[in-house]
Chain A
Amino acid sequence: MSRIGVFVCHCGENISRTVDVEQVAKAAGEIPGVAFSCDYKYMCSDPGQTLLKKAVAEHKLDGVLVAACSPRMHEKTFRKAAEAAGLNPYLCEMANIREHCSWVHEDRDMATAKAKDIVKLMVERVRKGKSLAPITVPVTKRALVIGGGIAGIQAALDIADAGHKVVLVEREPSIGGHMAQLSETFPTLDCSQCIMTPKMVDVANHPNITLFTYSEIEKVDGYIGNFQVTVKHKARSVDESKCTGCGICMTKCPKKKIPNEFDQGHGMRPAIYVPFPQAVPNTPVIDRENCTMFQSGKCGVCAKVCGPGAVDYEQQDTFTVEDVGAIVVATGFKLYTIDRKPEGSPIQGYGEFGYGTIPDIIDGMTFERLASASGPTGGKILRPSDGKEPKQVVFIQCVGSRAREKGISYCSKVCCMYTAKHTMLYHHKVHDGQAYVFFMDARTPGKGYDEFWRRAVEEEEAVYIRGMVSRMYQRGDKIVVMGSDIQVGVQVEIEADLVVLATAVQPQDGADLLAQKLGISYDKYNFYSEAHAKLKPVECATAGIYLAGACQGPKDIPDTVSQASAAAAKVMTLFAKDKLERDPVVAKVNEKYCVGCFACKKVCAYGAIEEKEIRDRQGNLVKKVAYVNPGVCGGCGTCQATCPSKSIELDGYTDEQIMAMIEAL
Chain B
Amino acid sequence: MTPGKKRLSYSYYPGCSLHASGREYDISTRALFKALNVGLKEVPDWFCCGATPAHNVDELLSLSLCAKNLSLAEEVEGDLAVACAACFSRLKTTQHHLKEDDTKRKQVEVAIDGPAALNKPVKHILEILAREYGLAKLEESVKKPLMGLKVAPYYGCLLTRPPGVPELDDCEDPSIMEDVLRALGAEPVKWSHRMECCGANFTLSRPGVVLKLSNAILESARIAGADCIMVACPLCHGNLDIRQKEIKEAFGAPDSTLFGNIFGSELHGGSAPDQRDLPIFYVTQLAALAMGVASESLGFESVITDPKPLLRDKQLL
- Name A residues whose Cβ lies closer than 8 Å to a Cβ of B: 340, 350-352, 354-355, 473-475, 480
Taking a contact as CB atoms under 8 Å apart, the answer to whether B192 and A475 are in contact is: yes
Check A351 against B192 for contact (C-beta < 8 Å): no
Distance in angstroms from B117 CB to nearest chain A CB is 28
Cα separation A354 to B172 with both chains bound (whole Å) = 8
Given contacts A340-B170, A340-B173, A480-B192, 5 further A-B contacts (CB under 8 A): A350-B172, A355-B173, A473-B192, A474-B192, A475-B223
CB neighbours (8 Å) of A354 from chain B are 173
With a CB–CB cut-off of 8 A, which chain A residues contact B171? 351
Closest chain B CB from A74 CB (angstroms) = 44
Closest to A475 in B: B192
From B170, B171, B172, name the one whose CB has the most chain A CB atoms within 10 angstroms.
Answer: B172
CA distance in complex: A651, B172 (Å) = 59
16 pairs of residues in contact across A and B, judged by CB atoms under 8 Å = A340-B170, A340-B173, A350-B172, A351-B170, A351-B171, A351-B172, A351-B173, A352-B172, A354-B173, A355-B172, A355-B173, A473-B192, A474-B192, A475-B192, A475-B223, A480-B192
Residues of chain B lying within 8 A (CB to CB) of residue A351? 170-173
| Shortest Cβ distance from residue B192 to the other chain A in the assembled complex, whole angstroms | 4
- Counting chain B residues whose Cβ lies within 8 A of the other chain, the interface size class is under 10
CB-defined contacts of A474 to chain B, threshold 8 Å: 192
Give the interface SS of chain B, mostly helix, strand, loop or mixed: loop
Docked pose: A630 CA to B173 CA in angstroms: 59
The answer for the CA separation of A255 and B154 in the assembled complex, in Å, is 44
CB B266 to nearest CB in A, in angstroms, measures: 10
* Residues of A contacting B: mostly: mixed
For A340, A351, A355, the residue with the greatest tally of chain B CB atoms inside 10 Å of its CB is: A351
CB nearest to B191 among chain A residues: A473
A354 to B194, CA, bound (A): 13
Contacts of B173 in A (CB 8 A): 340, 351, 354-355
CA distance A473 to B173 in the complex (A): 12
Q: Which residues of A contact B172 (CB under 8 A)?
A: 350-352, 355
Q: Which chain B residue shows the least CB distance to A348?
A: B163
CA distance A351 to B173 in the complex (A): 6
- Cβ-closest 6 pairs across A and B: A351-B172, A473-B192, A351-B173, A352-B172, A355-B173, A351-B170
Closest-by-CB residue of A relative to B160 is A351
Residues of A within 8 A of B170 (CB): 340, 351
C-alpha gap A244/B173 in the complex (Å)? 51
CB distance from A85 to the nearest CB of B (A): 58
Please encode chain B, from 254 to 288, with 1 for each CB lying within 8 Å of some chain A CB and 0 for all others.
Answer: 00000000000000000000000000000000000
Q: Which residues of B in the span 177-233 have a Cβ within 8 Å of any Cβ on A? A: 192, 223
Closest Cβ of chain A: how far from B175's Cβ, in Å?
11
Question: In the docked arrangement, what's the CA distance between A340 and B223, Å?
Answer: 27
Contacts of A340 in B (CB 8 A): 170, 173
Complex Cα–Cα for A351 and B172 (A): 5
Residues of A within 8 A of B192 (CB): 473-475, 480
Q: How far is the CB of B157 from chain A (nearest CB, A)?
A: 13
Cβ contacts under 8 Å, A355 to chain B = 172-173
What is the CA–CA distance of A136 and B192 in the complex, to the nearest angstrom?
A: 70
Determine the distance from Cα of A355 to Cα of B223 in the docked complex, in whole angstroms.
23
**Chain B residue at minimal CB-CB distance from A355:** B173
Q: Within residues 219 to 249 of chain B, which ones have a CB less than 8 A from any CB in chain A? A: 223
The residue in chain A whose Cβ has the minimal distance to the Cβ of B174 is A351
Bound Cα distance A340, B192 (Å): 19
Q: Report A197 CB to chain B, min CB distance, Å.
A: 42
A354 vs B171: C-alpha distance in the bound complex, in angstroms? 12
How distant is A255 from chain B, measured CB to nearest CB, in Å?
33
How far is A351 from B223 in the complex, measured between Cα atoms in Å? 22
State in angstroms the CA–CA spacing of A473 and B220 once bound together: 12
Closest A residue, CB atoms, query B190:
A474
The interface residues of chain B lying within 8 Å CB-to-CB of A480 are 192
Considering the complex, which residues of chain B in the window 121-177 have a beta carbon less than 8 Å from any beta carbon of chain A?
170-173
A336 to B: closest C-beta gap in Å: 16
CA distance A355 to B175 in the complex (A): 13
| Cβ of B293 to closest chain A Cβ, rounded Å | 35
Name the distance in Å between B195's Cβ and chain A's nearest Cβ.
9
Inter-chain CA distance A350–B172, complex, in Å, is 8
User: Which of B173, B192, B223 has the most CB atoms of chain A within a 10 A radius of its CB?
Assistant: B173
User: For residue B223, which residues in chain A have a CB less than 8 angstroms away from its CB?
Assistant: 475
Min distance, Cβ B174 to any Cβ of chain A, angstroms: 9
CB nearest neighbor in A for B194: A473
Write the chain A residue with the least CB distance to B173.
Answer: A351
A480-B193 Cα distance, complex, nearest whole Å? 12
Proximity string of chain B (77-118) to chain A, C-beta cutoff 8 Å, 1 when within and 0 when not: 000000000000000000000000000000000000000000
Whole-angstrom distance between the Cβ of B156 and the nearest chain A Cβ: 15
Chain B residue with Cβ nearest A353: B172
- Complex CA–CA separation, A351 to B170 (angstroms): 8
Nearest residue in B to A354 (C-beta to C-beta)?
Answer: B173
A340–B174 Cα distance when bound, in Å, is 12
Within 8 A of A (CB), among B34-50: none
Identity of the chain A residue whose Cβ is nearest the Cβ of B223 in the assembled complex: A475
B126 to chain A, nearest CB (A): 18
Instruction: Specify the chain A residue showing the minimal Cβ separation from B170.
Output: A351
Smallest CB-CB separation from B172: which chain A residue? A351
Distance between A482 CB and nearest chain B CB, rounded to angstroms? 10
A441 to chain B, nearest CB (A): 25
What residues of chain B lie closer than 8 Å to A352, measured between beta carbons?
Answer: 172
A352 to B196, CA, bound (A): 12
Bound: A350/B171 CA distance, A: 10
Bound Cα distance A355, B173 (Å): 8
* B250 CB, min distance to chain A CBs, angstroms: 21
Q: How far is the CA of A158 from the CA of B172 in the complex (A)?
A: 50
A626 → chain B closest CB, angstroms: 53
Alpha-carbon distance between A340 and B172 when the two chains are bound, in angstroms = 10
Bound CA–CA A355/B174 (angstroms)? 12
Q: Report how far A352 CA is from B172 CA in the complex, Å.
A: 6
Residue in chain B with minimal CB distance to A405: B163
Distance of A406 from chain B, by nearest CB (Å): 11
How many Å lie between the Cα of A351 and that of B161 in the bound state? Answer: 12
- Report the separation of the CA atoms of residues A636 and B172 in the bound assembly, to the nearest whole angstrom: 49
- Least distance between A607 CB and chain B CB atoms (Å): 47
A446 to chain B, nearest CB (A): 35
Cα A235 to Cα B59 with chains together (Å):
64
Q: Give B69 Cβ to nearest chain A Cβ, in Å.
A: 31
Report the minimal beta-carbon distance from A272 to chain B, rounded to whole angstroms: 38
Cα distance A475–B193 in the bound complex, in angstroms: 11
For A351, the closest partner residue in chain B by CB is B172
The complex places the Cα of A581 from the Cα of B219 at a distance, in Å, of 77
A461 to B262, CA, bound (A): 38
Q: How far is the CA of A474 from the CA of B190 in the complex (A)?
A: 10
A485 CB to nearest B CB, Å: 16
In the assembly, what is the distance between CA of A337 and CA of B171, in Å? 18
CB distance from B216 to the nearest CB of A (A): 12
Task: Report how far A350 CA is from B173 CA in the complex, Å.
Answer: 9
Q: How far is the CA of A475 from the CA of B223 in the complex (A)?
A: 9
In the complex, A543 Cα to B228 Cα: how many Å? 68
Name the CB-closest residue of B to A357: B173
**A354 vs B192: C-alpha distance in the bound complex, in angstroms?**
11
Nearest chain B CB to A317's CB is how many angstroms away?
A: 40
Question: What's the Cα separation between A355 and B192 when bound, in Å?
Answer: 14
Q: How far is the CA of A138 from the CA of B138 in the complex (A)?
A: 74
Measured in the bound complex, the distance between the Cα atoms of B173 and A340 in whole Å is 9
Cα–Cα distance between A480 and B223 once the two chains are bound (Å): 15
> Bound state CA distance, A103 and B17, in angstroms?
59
Closest chain-A Cβ to B118's Cβ sits at a distance in Å of 24
In the bound complex, how far is the Cα of B190 from the Cα of A354, in angstroms?
12
Complex alpha-carbon distance, A473 and B171, angstroms:
15
CB distance from B248 to the nearest CB of A (A): 22
Measured CB to CB, the closest approach of chain A to B194, in angstroms, equals 10
A354 CA to B173 CA, complexed, in Å: 7
* A523 → B minimal CB distance (Å): 25
Assembly CA distance A473 to B193 (angstroms)? 9
Q: How far is the CB of A342 from chain B (nearest CB, A)?
A: 13
Scan B31-73; emit 1 where CB is below 8 A from any A CB, else 0: 0000000000000000000000000000000000000000000
State the CA gap A474–B220 with chains docked (Å).
Answer: 12
